[in-house]
Structures are given as structure tokens and as C-alpha cells.
Amino acid sequence: MEIYLMSIRNEPFEALLDGRKKHEFRRRFSRTSGRFQVVFYVSDPVRAICGVGIFDKPIYDSIGRMKAIARSHRFSSPENIEKYFSGLERGYALPVRKIKRVGPIDLEEIRKTIEDFNPPQSYCRFPLQRFYKLLERVDLYDSPDEAVQRTLF
């Protein structure tokens, strides 16, 4: 399963956690062919890794379809979706399968473990080895294998 590090603002992250938001919308995303895992980096003012999640295959479709998907949310409105995707004909809706809070692991702690760490502007692939290294540093789990089992639910 592919792992991505995704930057997200705190309000949408909380909406994903409490179920008000069932999809994460992105202007661009990898054309992954199946389920994938996300490590959430919550941006300013939090500046920390705060969660992990599993998403089903991304939906890449028209803005009309993105607006229809947003109607099932108690967080995103079709009007906000139209504004977000302005200038594009198609966008991505990433369906949430499972999500949970971890950490937080603040930016300073992350950089002690992964010296060249820079939060992505949107998302990037996050190698499993880097994730293991980070988890070992902060002692969230007893072993990397337990980390994968727990983060993948």
C-alpha cells in the first residue's frame, strides 16, 4: 500500500476525523490504482503530524461530480468546491475509509529524526522507512511492525 504525506489545515482535518467530511478534495493527486495510506501533517498553527488514514481509490472526475460528492458532506459545500477547483475541468475526491489521530509529532521533533524534512505544500510520497524512523524516535509503538499494524488498523 502506498503511503503519502499530506498537508492539511486543522479545520478540514478535524472534519475528516469526526466524519463531517467523507472525502478529501485535491486539485492534483497521484493516479494510484487502489487504496493508499496517508500521514497527515497539519499545517499552521499546529505544524505537526497528527493523524493517519486509509483512503479508497481516488475519484478523478468532472467538477460537477466533485460538487455532487460534496453534497454528502456536512463540511464542504458545492459552492466552495466550485471555487476550489476554479480553472480546472476535473478534480480528485479521495474517499476516506478509516482515519485516526496520532501524536502529535511536532515539526521540531520530526526534524530531529528526519533532518531534511520539509512539509509538502500539498502531498508527497512518504517512504515507509522514514515513517518507521519517525515512529521509533517518538516511541509511539513497541516496534515498526506494530506501527504498521496499528496505522493500517
Q: Which three cell numbers stand for residue 114?
A: 528526519
CATH (domain of 53): 2.30.130.30
pLDDT at 12 over 60: yes
The rounded distance, in Å, linking the Cα atoms of 91 and 146 is 35
pTM over 0.95: no
- Report the SS3 class of residue 144: helix
Select from 41, 56, 39, 53 the least CA-distant residue to 126: 39
Number of domains in the chain: 1
pLDDT at 152 over 50: no
The torsion angle over the Cα atoms of residues 66, 71, 77 and 83, rounded to 10 degrees, is 20
pLDDT for 153: 44
pLDDT at 129 over 90: no
pLDDT digits (tens, 9 = 90+) for 87-124: 999 999 999 999 988 878 889 988 888 888 889 999 99
- Report the SS3 class of residue 83: helix
pLDDT digits (tens, 9 = 90+) for 30-74: 988 799 989 899 998 999 999 888 999 999 999 999 999 999 888
Select from 74, 73, 88, 71 the least CA-distant residue to 26: 88
Q: Are 24 and 4 in contact (CB under 8 A)?
A: no
Lookup result for grid cell 509529532: 105
Q: pLDDT band for 133, please (50, 70, 90 cuts).
A: confident
Highest mean pLDDT among 25-29, 34-38, 105-109, 126-130: 25-29
Structural domain harbouring 18 = 2-151
H helix or E strand, kind and range, residue 139: none
